[in-house]
């Protein structure tokens, strides 16, 4: 019932996306921007330790999963794992972050990527599954050279 009320308040524009997720148990730093993203806080309900997002991070229309029930029919088990996203990160449109993943500080995850393994700090990762494209420094130099 509580989540239903929060959903209504968010959809009416009364609650911001960050406030909505924080009230549901998300741990996030300052200056975090979340745009129409699904953040799964675990199959057992609200757990304050399942998703952590660092300062100055933007998440755009992405999905963050903390549990995977794909093998449940065969094993009877659901795999769970916390997700940690560092400071100064950008998670691109339509990306999916799978359970147990840590994305280091100063990272970019390209649009549509599926992140199934940890992303080291200062990395640009893209693709399905997400792989290292270059360092953040290399990426910024490429952008600077386009001007």
Read off the pLDDT of residues 18-48 as tens digits, 9 standing for 90 and up.
Answer: 777 776 778 899 999 999 888 987 655 556 6
Residues with catalytic roles: 67
- Spatial CA neighbour of 90 closest among 69, 60, 70: 60
Preceding omega of 6 cis (within 30 degrees of 0) = no
pTM of the model: 0.85
Alpha-carbon distance of 143 to 21, in angstroms, equals 32
- Please, what is the average pLDDT of the chain? 88
- CATH for 2-145 is 2.160.10.10
């Amino acid at each position: 019932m509580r989540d239903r009320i929060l959903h209504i308040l968010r959809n009416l524009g009364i609650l911001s996306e960050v406030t909505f997720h924080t009230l549901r148990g998300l741990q996030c730093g300052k200056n975090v921007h979340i745009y129409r993203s699904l953040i799964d806080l675990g199959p057992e309900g609200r757990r304050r330790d399942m998703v952590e997002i660092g300062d100055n991070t933007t998440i755009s229309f992405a999905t963050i999963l903390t549990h995977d029930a794909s093998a449940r029919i065969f094993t009877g088990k659901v795999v769970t794992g916390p997700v940690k996203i560092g400071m100064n990160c950008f998670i691109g449109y339509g990306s999916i972050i799978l359970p147990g993943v840590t994305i280091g500080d100063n990272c970019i995850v390209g649009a549509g990527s599926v992140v199934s393994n940890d992303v080291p700090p200062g990395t640009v990762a893209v693709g399905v599954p997400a792989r290292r494209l270059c360092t953040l420094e290399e990426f910024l130099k490429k952008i600077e050279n386009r001007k």
